């Protein structure tokens, strides 16, 4: 009888451990009472007491308590899941792509964190081409700035100077020829005046051609100088922006109307939004456009004076047509830079408004590539408003 009760209890223990619906200890005791006959109630109670005190009985009780704890946790999890399911589920959770490598990126990936947070040293190094970016460990941007500024410095101070010296040397020899034939025209025989005059005009045109080239190269040099200054100014603004984003970065909401009002001042909207690198780009573009407009207008005035002079001497000559073509060319350049400056200014206003509107969003655009078990992959993109 006792063996039968113990076997039954062991089977009930196994059932409570492996069954989907666990069997509580009270059910085991009830089953044991049913197994034992009613006339042996005293013996049965004794056996049950021994069973509770035995290792098997303790295992059943512990198992029952563990299962009840798991059930309580499952109930809490079910409540959380039900609470989550109240919101509509999408392939991408708001602000998350589901890809750990993307979701763990810093807030501002462009300005990566750096341990070099000294504003004094950052701005001192920014006086060198790309130096501020090198100091703040942004080596790619620093390399681009160093390369572009290096090319402009070489072209402005070395290549253009060499070409100007060559033009002056050629123009000097042509000027000597003009003086020689002018003298021969005055002192030579009368029957040779026409030939000397023709030679004088030929070399005079060469002098003017060299002068035109010199003026055009000077126009390009001034424009390149303006762009060089603008790029260097951008590098300094960008360095300060890197330092600011590493120390004072915030995603607080900024009023769009206030940003637009600030943007009326060129670059003011970007400064209001704390996008100092973009402000540097705006100043670079506007400075380059304004100086290019000025130099192009100077060339228009120069060729207009030449046009009026040639028009009096030989209005139907090839020189007159060439000068007219150069006037048209530089007028187009001037108008192009005017429209370019206007577009940069309008873009700065629109950019300030958009950045202020999305200032409280970390990353409103989320993209992910999800596997498709039918074969291939599925690209998913969400945009939060």
Give bridge partners of residue 46 from the DSSP assignment.
none
Specify the 3-state DSSP secondary structure of 365: strand
The number of angstroms, rounded, from the C-alpha of 108 to the middle of its chain's C-alpha atoms is: 9
Alpha helices in the chain (DSSP H): 2-18, 25-35, 41-53, 55-84, 100-103, 119-125, 131-135, 139-154, 160-187, 193-248, 256-263, 268-272, 276-313, 318-357
Residue extents of the structural domains in the chain: 2-84, 250-361
375 exposed, middle or buried (CB, 10 Å; 0-12, 13-18, 19+)? exposed
Please tell me the least confidently modeled range out of 65-69, 164-168, 253-257, 305-309.
Answer: 65-69
For the chain, what percent of residues have pLDDT higher than 70?
61
Nearest to 155 by CA among 220, 211, 234: 220
pLDDT band with cut points at 50, 70 and 90 for residue 12: low
The answer, yes or no, to whether residue 320 has pLDDT greater than 60, is yes
Q: Is the CB of residue 227 less than 8 Å from the CB of residue 152? A: yes
Please tell me the least confidently modeled range out of 60-74, 156-170, 283-297.
Answer: 60-74
Write the CB contacts of 6 (distance below 8 Å, at least 6 apart in sequence). 51, 56
State residue 211's pLDDT score.
82
**pLDDT one-digit tens code per residue, 115-165:** 788 889 999 999 999 999 999 888 888 999 999 999 999 999 998 888 888
Q: Is the CB of residue 121 less than 8 Å from the CB of residue 134? A: no
State residue 251's pLDDT score.
62
CA gap 243, 125 in Å, rounded? 13
Q: Is the CB of residue 200 less than 8 Å from the CB of residue 186? A: no
State residue 85's pLDDT score.
44
The answer, yes or no, to whether residue 38 has pLDDT greater than 50, is no
Write the CB contacts of 67 (distance below 8 Å, at least 6 apart in sequence). 16, 22, 24
pTM of the model: 0.61
CA gap 138, 280 in Å, rounded? 17
**pLDDT one-digit tens code per residue, 206-259:** 877 888 888 888 888 999 999 999 999 999 999 998 888 888 766 677 888 898
What are the tokens at 109? Answer: 């990936």
For the chain, what percent of residues have pLDDT higher than 90?
29
CA gap 25, 368 in Å, rounded? 51
């Amino acid at each position: 009888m006792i063996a039968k009760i113990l076997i039954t209890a062991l089977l009930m223990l196994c059932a409570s451990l492996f069954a989907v619906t666990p069997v509580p200890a009270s059910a085991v005791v009830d089953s044991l009472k049913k197994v034992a006959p009613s006339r042996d109630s005293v013996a049965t109670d004794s056996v049950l007491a021994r069973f509770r005190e035995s290792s098997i009985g303790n295992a059943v009780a512990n198992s029952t308590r563990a299962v009840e704890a798991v059930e309580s946790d499952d109930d809490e999890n079910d409540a959380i899941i039900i609470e989550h399911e109240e919101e509509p589920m999408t392939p991408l959770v708001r602000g998350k792509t589901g890809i750990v490598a993307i979701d763990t990126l810093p807030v501002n990936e462009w300005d990566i964190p750096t341990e070099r947070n000294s504003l004094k040293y950052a701005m001192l190094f920014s006086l060198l081409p790309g130096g501020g970016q090198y100091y703040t460990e942004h080596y790619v941007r620093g390399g681009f700035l160093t390369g572009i500024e290096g090319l402009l410095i070489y072209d402005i101070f070395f290549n253009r100077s060499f070409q100007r010296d060559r033009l002056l040397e050629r123009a000097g020899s042509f000027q000597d020829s003009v003086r020689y034939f002018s003298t021969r025209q005055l002192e030579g025989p009368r029957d040779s005046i026409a030939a000397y005059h023709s030679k004088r005009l030929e070399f005079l045109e060469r002098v003017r051609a060299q002068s035109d080239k010199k003026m055009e190269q000077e126009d390009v040099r001034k424009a390149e100088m303006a762009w060089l200054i603008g790029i260097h100014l951008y590098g300094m603004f960008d360095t300060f922006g890197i330092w600011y984003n590493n120390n004072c970065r915030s995603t607080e909401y900024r009023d769009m109307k206030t940003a637009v009002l600030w943007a009326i001042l060129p670059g003011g909207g970007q400064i209001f939004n704390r996008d100092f690198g973009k402000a540097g780009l705006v100043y670079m573009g506007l400075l380059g456009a304004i100086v290019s407009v000025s130099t192009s207008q100077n060339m228009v005035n120069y060729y207009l004076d030449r046009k009026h002079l040639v028009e009096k001497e030989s209005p139907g000559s090839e020189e007159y047509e060439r000068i007219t073509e150069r006037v048209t060319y530089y007028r187009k350049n001037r108008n192009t830079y005017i429209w370019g400056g206007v577009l940069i200014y309008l873009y700065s206003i629109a950019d300030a408004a958009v950045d202020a509107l999305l200032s409280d969003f970390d990353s409103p655009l989320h993209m992910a590539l999800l596997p498709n078990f039918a074969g291939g992959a599925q690209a998913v993109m969400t945009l939060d408003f």
